[in-house]
A and B are shown apart, each in its own frame.
Chain A
Amino acid sequence: MTLIGYDLRRTRTAGIFASTALFCFHFLMAYVYRALTNSLAGGPAVFTRFIPKQIQAFLGVDRLAPDSIEGFLALVYQHPFVLIVVAGLVISCCSELLAGRLERLTIVHLLSRPLCRAWLPLSAQLVTLFWLCGASLAAVFGTWAGFSHLGLKLPHVVQLAKLAAMLFLLGSALAGMSLIFSAALSLRADAIGWSVTVLLIMYIGNFLSQLWLAAKPWAQLSLFNYYVPIHIFLEGSIPLPSVVMFILCALGGTLVSCAIYLVREFHV
Chain B
Amino acid sequence: MKVLRYFSTWKKVPDASRPVIPIRTECLTKRYGARLALDSLSLEVTSGELFGLLGPNGAGKTTTLRLILGFIRPSAGRVTVYGESPRSVLHYAWRRRIGYLPGDLSFDSEETGFRLLEFYAALSGGHSSWRNELCDHLQLERSDLQMRIGKYSRGMKQKLGIIAALQHNPDLAILDEPTNALDPAAQRGFYRIVREMCQRGKTVLFSTHVLHEALELCEKIAVLSDGRLMDLFAVRQFIDESPRLLYVKTVPTLSSQKEIPHLPLAHFLGFRDDWLVYKVDAGAVKDVIRQLAQLPVDDVRIESAALDHLLSYYTPSHKIGT
Contact = CB atoms under 8 A, between A and B. Distances in A.
B123 A268 contact: no
A115 B92 contact: yes
A238 to B, nearest CB: 36
B104 A116 contact: no
A267 B123 contact: no
Interface string B254-269: 0000000000000000
Nearest to B119: A1
B102 A263 contact: no
Contacts of B125: 114
Interface string A153-190: 00000000000000000000000000000000000000
A266 B92 contact: no
Contacts of A266: 66, 71-72
Interface in B76-128: 89, 92-96, 98-100, 102, 104-108, 115, 118-120, 122-125
B313 interface: no
Contacts of B118: 1
B69 interface: yes
Given A105-B106, A265-B71, A266-B71, A113 B89 contact: no
Given A1-B122, A106-B108, A262-B6, A112 B98 contact: yes
B96 A114 contact: yes
Contacts, number: 73
A114 B119 contact: no
A109 interface: yes
Nearest to B111: A9
Which range contains the number of A residues in contact with the other chain? 20 to 34
Given A3-B123, A114-B125, A106 B92 contact: no
Contact of B106 (A3, A10, A104, A113): A104
B119 A6 contact: yes
A110 interface: yes
A106 to B, nearest CB: 5
A262 B164 CA distance: 24
Interface in B137-188: 164, 174
Contacts of B66: 266-268
Interface in A1-39: 1-3, 6, 10
B98 A106 contact: no
Contacts of B131: none
B2 interface: yes
Given A106-B108, A114-B92, A268-B104, A2 B71 contact: no
Given A262-B6, A262-B89, A114 B124 contact: yes
Interface in A171-216: none
Among A6, A110, A262, the most chain B Cβ lie within 10 Å of the Cβ of A6
Contacts of B108: 10, 104, 106
Nearest to B96: A114
Contacts of B98: 112
Given A106-B106, A114-B96, A266-B66, 11 more contacts: A3-B123, A106-B107, A106-B108, A111-B69, A112-B100, A114-B94, A115-B123, A117-B92, A118-B89, A262-B6, A266-B72
Top 5 A-B residue pairs of the complex, sorted by shortest distance between their CB atoms: A112-B100, A105-B106, A113-B123, A114-B96, A114-B95
